[in-house]
Structure 1
Amino acid sequence: MLYLVALPLLVYLSFKQKYKESVPARFFLFKNPPFKTKDGVWFHVCSLGEAKALKPILELVSDKDIKITTVTHTGQTEARKYDADVRYLPYEILLPFWMKKQKLLIVLEAEFWYILFVLARYRGTKVVLLNARISDKSVKKYLQFAWFYKKLLSNVEVIYAQSEVDKNRFLALGAKNIEIIGNIKLAGKITKTKEYEKPVQECIVAGSTHDGEEESILKSFIQYKKQVDAKLIVVPRHPERFESVYALMKNYADRNSLTLCRFSESQNFETDLILVDAMGELNNMYAISDIAIVGGAFREDVGGHNPLEPAFFGCKIITGKHFHDQKELFKYVHHVQYVEADEIHKALLATKDLPMSMVEEKINLEPIIQKILE
C-alpha cells in the first residue's frame, strides 16, 4: 500500500538527475533484469565507499562468478569498473520476482534488508555480513527493535564485525557466530589516477564536503589567507551540488578579491579557489595538498568520511567531531585535529606545528575470504 501511495513521488524523483537511473531501476525494474546466472558470489553494497572497498576482496575471488548490487548511483558507477555482473538492488517487495539463488550473498557494513535475507536463506543462499557495524548514532534505534533484528539476523550464517563494540551490539540484538576482523577498508590499495604538479603555495583540500560545510571552510580560509599564502581546493561529496557550491565560492571570491576556477575548465591550480567539479579526482587532490579538511564530520547527520586516503598522502588532517560512522578508521590514523566548524581557522594555524598524519594498521583479507568460500 505504501508503495502504491509513493508512486507519484517515485515518478517525480525519476526525473531528477541524482535519481534518474537508480529509482526506475530499483522501484520499477527498468533496465534492471535479474542476474544472468545462478550459483555465483553476490556482493551487496550501498554506495561509493563500500563499492571501493570491494576491490581487494574481488582480487582474491577473481576466479568466481561475481555479482554486485548497489543502492546509489555513485556506488553503481564504481561497481561497474569491476569484472562483474552489476545491478541495482530492487525494492524489497520486488525481490521475489527478481532474485535468483546464488552460492553466497556477502553484505557489507549496515545493509540490513529483511526480505533480502529471508528470501536468500529460503532459496539456499548462504548470507554473510562483512565489515559489519552498528554506529553510535543508530544503536539506540536498533535496540528499540531488537525483536525484529533478532529475527532478521537469524538468517545470517556468520557476521564479521569491525570492532569489539560492534560485536557486543550485535550480541545485544540476538545475533550469533560473530568474529572481529577489523575494518576491511584498511586492506584497500590507495592510488592516484593522475599526476598533477603541486602548487608553490600551501595547498588545502576540503574533501567530501556536504551542504553547510563549504561555507564554514571558506570563512576560515579567508581568515587564514590573510596570514598564510595558501590556496583552497574544494571537492564536494555529491556531483549534483557542483553548481550550488560554485555559486557559493564565487560569492566569497568576489567579496574578498580572490580568483576562482572550475577544475573542469582549468587544471593549472593558479587561482586562489578551485572547485573540483569532476568525479574520481579526490585522491589526486590529496596527493598535491599539505592540509586536508575531511568533510562529513561537521554535520551530525552525516557521520564523517574515510581518513585513510589523506593520511596515505601525508596530509595534515582536520575534521569535525561528528565522525561516528568512521570511528573505526580514525582509530588507526594518528595526528588528526577534531574541531567544530567555527574552529577550523584555529586548526589551520595549528598545522604548522603538527606532524603529518599517518596510518599504523593493516588487515589481511585472504584468510577471511577463504573461510567464507569454504
Structure 2
Amino acid sequence: MSTTENSTGFRFQMVWIYNFIILILLILALPLILLKSLTDRRLRFKLKERFFPKPIEESDYILLHGSSFGELKTLIAVSDKIKQELKKPLIFSAFTDTGFKAAEDKKTVIMPIDLLLLYKKLFKHTPSLAIFFETEIWPSYIAYLKKRGTKLILLNARMSSSTFKHYKRFCFLFKPIIQRFDLIVAKSITDAKRYRYFSDRVIVCGNIKRFKKPLKFDKSALLKTFKIHSEKPILTLASFHVEEIDLAISIIERFKNEYFIVLAPRHINLAHQFIDRLKKNKIEFSLRTSNNSAKNLLLLDTLGELEKIYAISKVTIIGGSFYPSLKGHNPIEPAIYKNTVICGPYMESFFEDVDYLKQLNLICQAKEPYLEQIENCIKIQQTNNESYLKFIDGLQYILNCHLFNTKKASNQN
C-alpha cells in the first residue's frame, strides 16, 4: 500500500474517532439540550433539522457555507460574482439561526450536527465545489465532501492566536482536515502563516469583508423608516456587548445633547439587559420594534438593519472592542459610508483592517480612559475624500483576487 493510501486511510480513521466522540457527547448532552430548547429560542431554531436534515435536491451546484449573520451577508454580497464566474446555481449552508435568517430568501439549509451519517442524509448529490468561510472547519462536513470528490476552498480564512495554539495541540486531527482544502485564501499575512503550519495550499488576498460598495439610500426615507425626528447628527453604538453596557451608558449620557444616538446590541436576545439599564438610568429611548417616534435614542432590537443606520450616521463607535475577552467587529462597513469610525483596543479579529484604515486616516482607536479618548477622536477624525476613494479601489482589488483564485482552483484537476 502506498504512503498516500496510508495517509488517506489514517485521515478517515481519525474522522471516525471524532464522530464516535461527538456521538457519545451528544447522547450524554441530549436531555439537557432538549430541556434548554424549551426556553432558548435560538437553540430551538430548526432543531429537528439538525438531527434529521432535509435532503438537497439540486444535482449540480456550488455550496457556500458560513456561520454567523455577518458571514452569510458577506457570502450573499459576493454570490452573484461567484455565480457569474462559475456558472452554476448556489446553495447556502448556515451554522447559526442568525446566519440562516440572513440567507432565508435564498436556497439555504441549516447545518446538521457534525456527523458523517447526517451528511449522507443531507446530500443526495454532493456539490462540485464547496466554499467554507473564515473559521468554518468542521471535520465531518469537510471529510464527507472531499471523500466524494467535491473541490474545497476556505475563503477569507482567519485563525486567531488562541485557535492556532488549540489546533497545534490537536494537530493529529486538524492538520489532516485543513489539508483537505484544495485552496485556502487567507485574509491576512498573519492568518496565512498560521494556516501554512498545516497546509501548503495557502495564498493571501486580503479581507473580502472589506469588499462592499456603499448602497444608494434615500436618507430622508430612512429617517422616516426608523421614525427618527431629530435634526442632530447620528452617533451609532454598533454591536455593543453586555460587557460594554457601562461604557454605552456613559457615551449616551455624554453625547445625548449633541447627537441622536442609535444603540445596536450585538445579541438581540440580550437586548433586555440594555433596556433595563436605560430605564434604571432614566434615559428616554424608543425601540425599533415599537411604533413610537424616536426623539433622542433608538435601540435597534432587529437584525439586518445596521447598514441602513450607517448610511445615515455621522459617527460610529464599534462595539466588541472595549473589553479584553472580546475581539472586535468589522470596521469596514461603517467606513464605506464615510462615518467617523472609532474602536477600542481589543480588535484582534480585525487588527489588520484597523491598521489598513489607520494608514488612510479612516479610523481612530481609543484607549483608556475611553470616554475622554472617544471625545478626542470625534474632534480630530475627518474623512479625507482622496483616502476614501483609495479605500474603495482597494476593496475591488481584494474581491477580484478572491474570485480569480477561486475560479482557478475549481477548474484544476
> By the TM > 0.5 criterion, same fold?
yes
Deviation of residue 138 (structure 1)? 2.1
Is 1:91 aligned with 2:91? Answer: no
**Is residue 43–residue 68 contact of structure 1 (8 Å, CA) maintained in 2?**
yes
**Is residue 33–residue 98 contact of structure 1 (8 Å, CA) maintained in 2?**
yes
**Is residue 56–residue 189 contact of structure 1 (8 Å, CA) maintained in 2?**
no
Deviation of residue 330 (structure 1)? 2.4
Q: For residue 124 of structure 1, what is the aligned residue in structure 2?
A: 149
The one-letter code sitting in structure 2 at the alignment partner of 1:7 is L
Q: For residue 13 of structure 2, what is the aligned residue in structure 1?
A: none
Q: Structure 1 residue aligned with 2:212, among 188, 212, 217?
A: 188
Q: Evaluate the alpha carbon distance shift between residue 341 and residue 42 of structure 1 in structure 2; reply closer, same or farther with a 3 A threshold.
A: farther
Q: Evaluate the alpha carbon distance shift between residue 104 and residue 259 of structure 1 in structure 2; reply closer, same or farther with a 3 A threshold.
A: same
Q: For residue 36 of structure 1, what is the aligned residue in structure 2?
A: 57
Counterpart-to-counterpart distance in 2, 1:161 and 1:350: 31
Counterpart-to-counterpart distance in 1, 2:222 and 2:77: 26
Counterpart-to-counterpart distance in 1, 2:317 and 2:186: 28
Deviations along 1:299-357, whole A, 9 cap, x unmatched?
Answer: 33331111112111221122121111122332332332223475134312441222138
Counterpart-to-counterpart distance in 2, 1:366 and 1:188: 14
**Is residue 321–residue 346 contact of structure 2 (8 Å, CA) maintained in 1?**
yes
Counterpart-to-counterpart distance in 1, 2:35 and 2:213: 39
Q: For residue 141 of structure 1, what is the aligned residue in structure 2?
A: 166
Counterpart-to-counterpart distance in 2, 1:336 and 1:347: 11
Q: Structure 2 residue aligned with 1:115, among 140, 163, 181?
A: 140
Deviation of residue 73 (structure 1)? 0.8
Q: For residue 106 of structure 1, what is the aligned residue in structure 2?
A: 131
Q: Structure 1 residue aligned with 2:235, among 204, 217, 235?
A: 204
Counterpart-to-counterpart distance in 2, 1:210 and 1:24: 30
The one-letter code sitting in structure 1 at the alignment partner of 2:31 is P
SS at match of 2:262: strand
Counterpart-to-counterpart distance in 1, 2:133 and 2:339: 28
Counterpart-to-counterpart distance in 1, 2:331 and 2:184: 25
Q: Evaluate the alpha carbon distance shift between residue 41 and residue 350 of structure 1 in structure 2; reply closer, same or farther with a 3 A threshold.
A: closer
Is 1:242 aligned with 2:267? Answer: no
Q: Structure 2 residue aligned with 1:57, among 59, 71, 78?
A: 78
Q: For residue 336 of structure 2, what is the aligned residue in structure 1?
A: 312
Is 1:10 aligned with 2:10? Answer: no
Counterpart-to-counterpart distance in 2, 1:143 and 1:192: 45
**Is residue 10–residue 23 contact of structure 1 (8 Å, CA) maintained in 2?**
no
How many residues are treated as equivalent by the alignment? Answer: 361
Is 1:220 aligned with 2:251? Answer: yes
Q: Structure 2 residue aligned with 1:300, among 298, 321, 324?
A: 324
Deviation of residue 98 (structure 1)? 2.9
**Greater share of helix:** 2
SS at match of 2:242: coil
Is 1:337 aligned with 2:364? Answer: yes
Deviation of residue 142 (structure 1)? 2.1
**Is residue 213–residue 341 contact of structure 1 (8 Å, CA) maintained in 2?**
no
Question: Which consecutive unaligned segments of at least 5 residues does structure 1 have?
Answer: none
Counterpart-to-counterpart distance in 1, 2:90 and 2:55: 14
The one-letter code sitting in structure 1 at the alignment partner of 2:110 is Y
Deviation of residue 22 (structure 1)? 4.2
SS at match of 1:212: helix
Deviation of residue 97 (structure 1)? 3.5
Counterpart-to-counterpart distance in 2, 1:33 and 1:298: 41
Counterpart-to-counterpart distance in 2, 1:221 and 1:88: 38
Q: Evaluate the alpha carbon distance shift between residue 266 and residue 313 of structure 1 in structure 2; reply closer, same or farther with a 3 A threshold.
A: farther
Matched-pair identity in %: 25
The one-letter code sitting in structure 2 at the alignment partner of 1:165 is T
Deviation of residue 81 (structure 1)? 2.9
Is 1:172 aligned with 2:194? Answer: no
**Is residue 40–residue 103 contact of structure 1 (8 Å, CA) maintained in 2?**
yes
Counterpart-to-counterpart distance in 1, 2:375 and 2:32: 44
Counterpart-to-counterpart distance in 2, 1:38 and 1:370: 20
Question: Which consecutive unaligned segments of at least 5 residues does structure 2 have?
Answer: 1-23
The one-letter code sitting in structure 1 at the alignment partner of 2:89 is D
Counterpart-to-counterpart distance in 2, 1:25 and 1:344: 46
Counterpart-to-counterpart distance in 2, 1:310 and 1:338: 14
Q: For residue 367 of structure 1, what is the aligned residue in structure 2?
A: 404
SS at match of 1:138: helix
Is 1:152 aligned with 2:177? Answer: yes
SS at match of 1:59: helix
Deviation of residue 146 (structure 1)? 2.6
Q: TM-score, normalising length from structure 1?
A: 0.88
Q: For residue 351 of structure 1, what is the aligned residue in structure 2?
A: 378
| Range that drifts further, 140-149 or 192-201 | 192-201
Deviations along 1:268-314, whole A, 9 cap, x unmatched?
Answer: 4312x221122222122222222111111123333111111211122
SS at match of 1:300: coil
SS at match of 1:92: coil
**Is residue 192–residue 283 contact of structure 1 (8 Å, CA) maintained in 2?**
no
Deviations along 1:61-114, whole A, 9 cap, x unmatched?
Answer: 1541211111111110111233xx311111112334433422111111011111
Q: TM-score, normalising length from structure 2?
A: 0.81
